[in-house]
Amino acid sequence: MAKIKLTKNELKKQKDALKMYKRYLPTLQLKKQQLQTEIRAIEARARALAAERDGLMAEFRAWIAVFGEEEAVRRPDGGWILSAGSIRTASGNIAGVDIPLFKGAEFNIDEYDLFAKPLWIDKALDRLKAMLSLDLEIKVLDEQVRRLERELRITTQRVNLFEKVKIPETAENIKKIRIYLGDQQTAQVVRGKIAKRKVVERVAS
């Protein structure tokens, strides 16, 4: 704890500081709660999208298995002939934190021979786009959570600083200064009485 001056000016300074800490603390606590709520909501959204993607993948594999031609949508290296290109995002804001919002994506499709591929290839590629789009949206949601968790850590540190350090420390400083000033006032009254008695005694003698 830093050394404080035991003066009336310092008492006023400490009282003003305590008032400021108590005014800002509820705002920080509210922000902390809002961030926690938003993070939980985004994580729930990401889980729902992941379940939807897994469901689409299961349907897709079952559907292709019927035709027995999964290689029709595969490259020679085993990857899909369709891949994700750029992600389209917009800017959003939650509790003062800038976050990306998923707005869609561009996809790259390898050139293929229309006559060599089965008739259902276009429908299969649409399913793949839907699955990849969900994957990309989940990544954007993960980035939202990462940014909000970073802000939550900072906000939690500030709440703890105010609650556990600044407010108790300032309250203790105020108490210490008041006790000292009270003692000084009492001592001054006592000195005044002694001086008065001495004057009376001199006059009497």
Q: What CATH number corresponds to the domain at position 67?
A: 1.10.287.3240
State the burial class of residue 72 (Cβ atoms within 10 Å of its Cβ: 0-12, 13-18, 19+). Answer: middle
Residue 205 lies in a domain: no
Of 140, 139, 121, 138, the closest CA to residue 82 belongs to 121
State the burial class of residue 146 (Cβ atoms within 10 Å of its Cβ: 0-12, 13-18, 19+). Answer: exposed
Looking up tokens 């001054």 gives 188
Looking up tokens 């003062």 gives 96
Residue 76 lies in a domain: yes
Residue 132 lies in a domain: yes
Q: Label residues 114-143 b or e (16+ Cβ within 10 Å = b).
A: eeebeebbeebbebbeebbbbebbbebbee
- What range defines the domain where residue 130 resides? 8-195
Where do runs of H (alpha helix) occur along 68-111?
A: none
Residue 2 lies in a domain: no
- Check residue 109 and give its pLDDT: 77
Cα distance between residue 159 and residue 164, in whole Å: 8
Residue 1 lies in a domain: no
Cα distance between residue 27 and residue 159, in whole Å: 9
Residue 3 lies in a domain: no
Residue 203 lies in a domain: no
Query: Angle at CA 165, nearest 5°, toward 161 and 167?
Result: 100
pLDDT of the chain, 205 residues: tens digit per residue? 568 888 999 999 999 999 999 999 999 999 999 999 999 999 999 999 999 999 988 887 776 665 555 566 666 676 767 777 888 999 999 999 999 999 999 888 777 655 566 566 777 778 888 888 999 999 999 999 999 999 999 999 999 999 999 999 999 999 999 998 888 888 787 777 777 777 676 777 6
Number of domains comprising the chain: 1
Residue 53 lies in a domain: yes
